[in-house]
Amino acid sequence: MEAIKKIPLNLYADDDQLYWNGMHQEWGLLSQDSAYHILSNAKESGFFSLPSSSTNTGWHFIPKAVSKAVWQCKTLPKIKAFLWRCCPEGIPSSEELSCRNCKVDDLCRLCAEAIETIDHILLSYPFARAAWLGAQMILVVPPTHDLKLYQWLHPLISISYPTK
């Protein structure tokens, strides 16, 4: 406990002060309105940009109806969030990690027969196919390796939960 108390909290002798760059209020208080203006100006100037991982794949390839259908599913929020992240390949499979310059083997560590993509993990991996067949709804995955998760998922969700 004594060692923790000896950690210096402030490296400088000055007192802390609040600084807001680009504030529209003279008192230096951050409000919802001033934050909106700061972010709008930053967006217009190109200050914000998508990370490289967001440009490789993403929702711009996937029909908006899929995203809408995922969020309208009558299931647990964590399942909706998981599906929403899986559709644009936002879950770090070996292929995704490899695309981001991580040194990993692309092959599926479970079957060593295919490249590990989110589509392989959830659709074409033999155990996944068996799990879908054994589900209450008996969901059949077509035997194609080119099938994307969102292509398979969209008709299923749309039939069960039509978009408004």
Per-residue pLDDT tens over the stretch 70-95: 888 888 899 888 888 888 777 888 88
pLDDT at site 16: 65
23 and 45 in a single domain? The answer is yes
User: Do 27 and 6 fall within a single domain?
Assistant: yes
For 5, the token pair is 């108390």
Rg of the chain over all Cα atoms, to the nearest angstrom: 24
163 pLDDT more than 60:
no
Q: Are residues 88 and 122 in the same domain?
A: yes
Tokens of 69: 């259908």
pLDDT of residue 78: 92
- Say whether both 79 and 97 belong to one domain: yes
Structural domain containing residue 15: 2-49
* Contact between 40 and 24 (Cβ < 8 Å): no
* Same domain membership, residue 134 and residue 71: yes
Same-domain status, 7 and 33:
yes
115-148: per-residue pLDDT in tens? 898 888 888 888 888 887 887 766 677 776 677 8
Could you report the per-residue pLDDT of 96-116, keeping only the tens digit for each? 888 888 888 888 888 888 889
Q: Are residues 144 and 64 in the same domain?
A: yes
Q: Which of residues 49, 72, 87 is at a domain's end?
A: 49
Q: Are residues 45 and 66 in the same domain?
A: no
Say how far apart CA 150 and CA 107 lie, in whole Å: 22
Regarding whether 61 and 12 lie in a shared domain, the answer is: no
* pLDDT at residue 56, rounded to an integer: 46
